[in-house]
């Protein structure tokens, strides 16, 4: 009970999609808790339900629509329930309001403040006391440094929903990262739809390398990552910053999307295969043992078997640590939606599976090299009785131990490796780099 004698209001937050949505949801949860809300385990028990949505593929959009439909009955039974939708599902707001009249608020992607304004409205049911008691933060936390994107990739719905790039000033980013570290975070991932283009829209045009330098100075922060990069925007200055700043992890997410020049041109990616290959060579020369991850879309409009084979061969040649592969999904409103989506679904799935099988082999071989070695693992949580954490190169490692390792750096000897994770035995605490 609060001072008004009524129970505190509660929120239920449903999040799907990318790390940007996860970061927005964390900021929203912090804001709601500061307003006096508490988390509810289920939508049925909450006073405020927020759906933080994704439409990057049709399957994600279908989930959102399913969730919205299931909440219609709840809202009818409990008209006082506040229902808000944010994230990339929110495009044409008047149309959405017509289609889903029972939703109280459609907020633009990342517009956390609009949801907080809705949550601040007094209701007849309760009266909340603001609190500054924020809960601990995850060991590995996200900080958005820019939203939106100025590229024009022809398949991409995200830039249509999130608009042009807007970067946050460096001092604001540092303040948020420092607050997370004060609450227990030891690793910060800096997020942007195109993180490499950070700052081009700000006075003086600061760069991502400048952000890395500034965040690097936060005491108590041990690791820094950033994503997602764009091959046409990754500068030498950035590669040098990753190579020279000890807290910045040897881990780069660099989507290639296709290994065929004609497909890349039609995707509007602004680089060709030779340029991408050259960039990978320069990164690997400057940052030894770096882990590279990539994204690939198979079955893009008009992709022939030969063009798919070009992608397959490039992946075989460059041997990524991780490949996120997706079958092309037509997104209405994008330039590519005007072209025939002519690769049959079964053929898209065959190509997706072929890439998955290849990557399983490649990642298995790369990880097997760590067998018997000692690696530094930042432990994030306990999962099914084992401690779970990541190496600097973003490899998932599990180990069993009775001590409390959450938020600590463990030195782990690897005893088993697979393509997606590893097992090990803890050998002690690793030395912390905090300079
Ligand atoms: S770089 Fe391309 S795919 Fe990525 S958000 Fe921008 S437009 Fe979309």
pLDDT digits (tens, 9 = 90+) for 6-60: 668 999 999 999 999 999 999 999 999 999 999 999 999 999 999 999 999 999 9
CA angle 324/107/148 to nearest 5° reads 45
Q: State how far the Cα of 371 lies from the Cα of 423, in Å rounded to an integer.
A: 9
pLDDT at 159: 85
pLDDT at 422: 98
pLDDT at 189: 97
The answer on pLDDT for 133 being more than 70 is no
As a whole number, mean pLDDT of residues 225-236 equals: 97
As a whole number, mean pLDDT of residues 398-426 equals: 97
As a whole number, mean pLDDT of residues 205-211 equals: 98
Q: Ligand 1 centre from 343 Cα, in Å?
A: 22
Which residue ranges have their beta carbon within 6 Å of ligand 1? 149, 151, 153, 156, 158-159, 193-194, 230
pLDDT digits (tens, 9 = 90+) for 274-333: 999 999 999 999 999 999 999 999 999 999 999 999 999 999 999 999 999 999 999 999
**Ligand 1: nearest atom to the Cα of 228:** 4
Q: Choose the residue to mutate in 19, 150, 153 for probing ligand 1, maximizing ligand atoms within 8 Å of C-beta.
A: 153
Short-list 92, 93, 102, 94, CA closest to 69 = 102
pLDDT digits (tens, 9 = 90+) for 334-350: 999 999 999 999 999 99
Nearest protein CA to atom 5 of ligand 1, as residue: 193
Name the helix (H) or strand (E) containing 377. Answer: strand 374-383
Level-2 CATH architecture, domain 374-429: Beta Barrel (2.40)
pLDDT at 13: 97
The mean predicted confidence, pLDDT, of the chain is 94
Sorted by sequence, the CB contacts under 8 Å of residue 238 that are 6+ apart come out as 196, 207, 208, 209, 212
Domains 10-120 and 140-368 share a fold: no
Sorted by sequence, the CB contacts under 8 Å of residue 230 that are 6+ apart come out as 151, 194, 196, 197, 255
As a whole number, mean pLDDT of residues 228-253 equals: 97
pLDDT at 391: 98
Per the listing, tokens 């927005």 go with: 24
Q: Are 312 and 358 in contact (CB under 8 A)?
A: yes
The CATH superfamily assigned to 10-120 is Methylthiotransferase, N-terminal domain (3.40.50.12160)
pLDDT digits (tens, 9 = 90+) for 74-132: 999 999 999 999 999 999 999 999 999 999 999 999 899 999 999 998 765 555 555 55
Q: Ligand 1 centre from 423 Cα, in Å?
A: 35
Per the listing, tokens 């309760």 go with: 126
Q: Ligand 1 centre from 150 Cα, in Å?
A: 8
Q: State how far the Cα of 190 lies from the Cα of 146, in Å rounded to an integer.
A: 9
Q: Residue ranges per domain, the chain?
A: 10-120, 140-368, 374-429
Tell me the percentage of the chain whose pLDDT exceeds 70. 94
Level-2 CATH architecture, domain 140-368: Alpha-Beta Horseshoe (3.80)
Q: Ligand 1 centre from 422 Cα, in Å?
A: 32
pLDDT-derived band of residue 431, with 50, 70 and 90 as boundaries? Answer: confident
Sorted by sequence, the CB contacts under 8 Å of residue 369 that are 6+ apart come out as none
Dihedral Cα 67, 68, 74, 76, nearest 10 deg: -160
């Amino acid at each position: 009970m609060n001072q008004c004698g009524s129970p505190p209001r509660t929120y239920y937050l449903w999040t799907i999609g990318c790390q940007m949505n996860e970061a927005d949801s964390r900021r929203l949860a912090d804001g709601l808790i500061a307003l006096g809300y508490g988390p509810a385990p289920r939508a049925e028990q909450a006073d405020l339900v927020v759906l933080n949505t994704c439409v990057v593929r049709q399957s994600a959009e279908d989930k959102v629509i399913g969730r919205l439909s299931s909440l219609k009955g709840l809202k009818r039974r409990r008209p006082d329930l506040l229902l808000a939708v944010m994230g990339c599902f929110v495009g044409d707001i008047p149309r959405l309001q017509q289609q889903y009249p029972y939703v109280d608020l459609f907020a633009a992607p990342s517009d956390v403040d609009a949801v907080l304004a809705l949550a601040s409205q007094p209701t007849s049911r309760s009266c909340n006391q603001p609190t500054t008691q924020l809960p601990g933060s995850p060991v590995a936390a996200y900080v958005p440094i820019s939203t939106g994107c100025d590229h024009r990739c022809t398949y991409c719905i995200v830039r249509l929903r999130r608009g042009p790039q807007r970067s946050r000033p460096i001092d604001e980013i540092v303040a948020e990262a420092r607050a997370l570290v004060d609450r227990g975070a030891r690793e910060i991932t800096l997020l942007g739809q195109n993180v490499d283009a950070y700052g081009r829209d700000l006075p003086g045009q600061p760069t991502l390398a400048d952000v890395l330098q500034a965040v690097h100075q936060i005491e108590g922060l041990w690791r820094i990552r950033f994503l997602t990069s764009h091959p046409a925007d990754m500068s030498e200055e950035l590669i040098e910053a990753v190579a020279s700043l000890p807290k910045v992890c040897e881990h780069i997410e660099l989507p290639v999307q296709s290994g065929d020049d004609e497909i890349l041109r039609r995707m509007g990616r602004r680089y060709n295969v030779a340029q991408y290959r050259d960039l990978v060579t320069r990164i690997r020369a400057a940052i030894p043992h770096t882990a590279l991850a990539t994204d690939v879309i198979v079955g893009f409009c008009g992709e022939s078997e030969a063009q798919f084979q070009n992608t397959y061969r490039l992946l075989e040649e460059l041997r990524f640590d991780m490949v996120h592969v997706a079958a092309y999904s037509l997104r209405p409103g994008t330039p590519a939606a005007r072209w025939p989506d002519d690769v049959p679904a079964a053929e898209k799935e065959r190509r997706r599976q072929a890439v998955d099988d290849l990557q399983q082999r490649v990642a298995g071989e790369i990880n097997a090299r760590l067998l018997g070695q000692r690696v530094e693992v930042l432990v994030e949580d306990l999962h099914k009785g084992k401690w779970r954490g990541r190496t600097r190169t973003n490899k998932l490692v599990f180990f069993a131990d009775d001590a409390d390792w959450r938020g600590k750096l463990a030195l782990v000897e690897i005893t088993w490796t697979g393509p997606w994770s590893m097992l090990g035995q803890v050998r002690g605490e690793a030395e912390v780099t905090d300079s």
